[in-house]
Structures are given as structure tokens and as C-alpha cells.
Amino acid sequence: MCAGIRKPRRDARRLSPSCPGPSRPAALEADLPTSDNQLIDALPGADRKRLLAQCEHAQLALAEVLGEPGQPLRHAYFPTQGFISLWAAMDDRHGLEVAMVGDEGMLGAHLALGVEASPLRALVQGAGGAWRIDTPTLRAELARSAALQRVLGRYLYVQMLQLSSSATCLSFHMIGPRLARWLLMSHDRAHGDHFHVTQEFLACMLGVRRVGITVAAGVLHRQGLIAYHRGELTVLDRAGLEAASCSCYRADVKAYADLF
């Protein structure tokens, strides 16, 4: 099974703008808990407090498998620093990454549909913190909170778009722009400009041969967009990487921003 390492980062950059919500007096706003997860923070104050009271903080371990296709999901996760790869797996060694979940989202949004079985393999690709809630408790909270239903419904739509985008990207875009897109997606969630990632891992996630990754990463390196040596990758030019990426990255970001 392929696995990658990304070191935590915490800064102001997010995948999308935060949901502005209704204006509140500063004193009331200061009393509301923040979670470092954008979906939870998009909830109204009372719903947010109630959900957080039923969550526990968990540490996501690198390469930890949180869900398997067809198996019931025991817990839902709202990442705060760590992030998760959603993997369409053919077997224990072969598959393709089709989506990522970081602090912009959650693992287990399908529970809002009343379905407990995981549709994809969920593999931790960036160690870090997350809010965790057991499945029965989340389903009870969904029955109680119309706001949580609305937020998770919108996020499910975003995930549908991301899956569609990944399929289109695989079929029609060259390795170089796809690699730039993957690096941007990881950079959005990794909380750091520097992370360790092997060419074998990148080839696995993008569903290509290692030689294709070597050539594509070499081009980005020569353009001064990334530094890469013995598995250590540093993003040097974020704007340049966005220009080198295919249009799928910008479409994913726009879809999230439009809905949240």
C-alpha cells in the first residue's frame, strides 16, 4: 500500500473562504467555540457547541486505515491538521486516489444519507489532529440539527464534484498538470510548505508509472516551482504551481467557495 508523509502546517491559507454567516456582536462571537475545521465552524453557534461536546480529539497516524469499502464506518472524522486520502482500491496494493479530506471537510459525510458502509478506502496521508465522533451519535445529531444536515449535504455535493473532476483529470490531462494539481491539494491541507513524499507514492496516487513522475517533477523543479531531493519536497512558488496546474484544481476550489 502506498503511503506518503506530510508535516503539519498552520497558517492563514485555507482551501476556500470561511462561510461568513450572519453578523453577531463581537462579545457573542468571542464566546463561540472554534474547531479548526471549516465544516464545524460553518455551523450556527448552538449546533457547533452541541456537536463539539459529543466529539473527542483524536490523533491521525500516518498510513492508518480509517475505512474500507463496503465496511461500516465506526467513526466520522473532522480533520484539523491531519488529512486523509480517499482511495478507489482494486486490491491491497493497487488503486487510485480520487479525493482528499483535510480541515475543509470530513470523513463520513455519506452517513448523512443513512448509509454506514464506506464507499472508498480512507487512508491517513498526513498525520495530525481531528475531531472524532462515533457513528450512532453523529446520526442522532443529524436527526436533531437541520443546520448539520444542510452543511453535510453541501459537502457531499462538493465531494461528488471532486470525484467527477478526478475521473476527468485522469482521462484528459497530462501528468505534469495533474502532478501540480495534486501538490496544490496537498499544500492546502498539509499546514507546511515542506513534506516528504516518494516518487513511488506519487505514481501510486496518480495512477501512472514512476518514470512519468520523475519527468514531471523534474520540469517543475527546473521551473523553480518546487525543490525536490531524495523524497524531500518543498513548494517554492505557489502562484507558479497554480499556473502549471490543470483547470481541475481551480474548479474544485470554486465549487467549495460557491457552496460555503
Which of these three, 169, 193, 213, is where a domain ends? 169
> Do residue 100 and residue 229 come from a single domain?
no
Residue type at position 184: L
Q: Quote the pLDDT of residue 19.
A: 38
Q: Give residue-wise pLDDT tens across range 58-68.
A: 999 988 999 99
**Mean pLDDT computed over 173-187:** 93
Q: Quote the pLDDT of residue 213.
A: 92
> Do residue 81 and residue 191 come from a single domain?
no
> Do residue 162 and residue 217 come from a single domain?
no
Q: Quote the pLDDT of residue 82.
A: 84
- Whole-number average pLDDT of the chain: 86
CATH number of the CATH domain containing 196: 1.10.10.10
Q: DSSP letters along the chain, please?
A: ----------SS--SSPPP--S---HHHHHHS---S-HHHHTS-HHHHHHHHHT-EEEEEPTT-EEE-BTSBP-EEEEESS-EEEEEEESSSS-EEEEEEESTTS-B-GGGGGT--BBSSEEEEEE-EEEEEEEHHHHHHHHHH-HHHHHHHHHHHHHHHHHHHHHHHHHHHS-HHHHHHHHHHHHHHHHSSSEEE--HHHHHHHHTS-HHHHHHHHHHHHHTTSEEEETTEEEE--HHHHHHHS-HHHHHHHHHHHHH-
Whole-model pTM: value is: 0.83
- Note whether residue 190 is domain-resident: yes
* CA proximity to 102, closest of 118, 126, 123: 126
> Do residue 51 and residue 153 come from a single domain?
yes
Q: Quote the pLDDT of residue 92.
A: 66
> Do residue 184 and residue 144 come from a single domain?
no
**Burial category of 200 from C-beta neighbours within 10 Å (exposed 0-12, middle 13-18, buried 19 and up):** middle
> Do residue 144 and residue 187 come from a single domain?
no
Above 80 in pLDDT, residue 196? no
> Do residue 118 and residue 76 come from a single domain?
yes
> Do residue 135 and residue 202 come from a single domain?
no
**By the 8 A CB rule, do 241 and 183 touch?**
yes
> Do residue 147 and residue 30 come from a single domain?
yes
> Do residue 49 and residue 161 come from a single domain?
yes
> Do residue 141 and residue 94 come from a single domain?
yes
CATH number of the CATH domain containing 149: 2.60.120.10
Residue 124: which domain range? 26-169
Q: Give residue-wise pLDDT tens across range 124-145.
A: 988 899 999 999 999 999 999 9
> Do residue 179 and residue 192 come from a single domain?
yes
Q: Quote the pLDDT of residue 32.
A: 64
Total of domains in the chain: 2
Q: Give residue-wise pLDDT tens across range 7-38.
A: 334 443 444 433 334 444 444 445 566 899 99
Which of these three, 169, 191, 216, is where a domain ends? 169
